[in-house]
Amino acid sequence: MNYPENIKKLKDLLSHSRICMLSTYTNSEGVHTRPMAFQQLEEDGSIWFFTNEYSPKTEEISINHEVSISFSNESQSNYVVLKGQARLSKDKAKMEELFNPMVKVWFPKGLDDPKMALIKVEVVAAEYWDNTSSTMVMLFNAAKSLVTGEMYDEGEHGKINL
């Protein structure tokens, strides 16, 4: 399996997901998690979220870029966990590209809202739990390559109590 195929597999796994849980690091709580509207996984493996520029999560990612994103759907036994690095972006062209009526719920002024910003997460690792065996499957782990020189790690490893 090569990298684009892993992205394709991941896209398939996330194709019905509209909401995910985004975890950031905070000194006070350790892990701070909230639901976020999920749009899509980009071809380059990144995920973009709309955010208020002055929300706690933007401050949290400015201190620590590491985030975890999880998708759970119990009725479909679909569990996906991503890890990546998050950064705030004010990329106007990207906002225009991603903007849709749902975003108006949070930004009634639309693209002219000065508080509107984006969070870009560059996904470096992806895991899912196989719904027949409850076995965790690592789709890719680019972070690992920095340490071991291996490009991607894949295949089943570890059993999780589901």
Half-sphere exposure of 110 (CA within 13 A, CB side): 5
Tell me which residues touch other proteins (CB under 8 A): 17-19, 21, 23, 25, 28-35, 37, 64, 66-68, 70, 72-75, 79, 81, 83, 101-102, 104-106, 108, 129, 136, 158-162
Q: How far is the CB of 13 from other proteins (least distance, A)?
A: 14
Between 108 and 149, CB nearer to other proteins: 108
Strand (E) positions, 15-152?
19-26, 30-37, 46-52, 66-73, 78-89, 116-129, 135-141
Between 5 and 102, CB nearer to other proteins: 102
Looking at the chain, list the stretches that DSSP marks H as alpha helix, in order from N- to C-terminal side: 3-14, 56-63, 92-98, 142-148
Q: Buried (b) or exposed (e) across 50-79, using 16+ Cβ within 10 A?
A: bbeeeeebbebbeeeeebbbebeeeeeebb
Between 1 and 162, CB nearer to other proteins: 162
Q: How far is the CB of 11 from other proteins (least distance, A)?
A: 17
Between 4 and 11, CB nearer to other proteins: 11
How far is Cα 42 from Cα 123, in angstroms, rounded to an integer?
A: 10
Q: How far is the CB of 83 from other proteins (least distance, A)?
A: 6
Q: How far is the CB of 2 from other proteins (least distance, A)?
A: 25
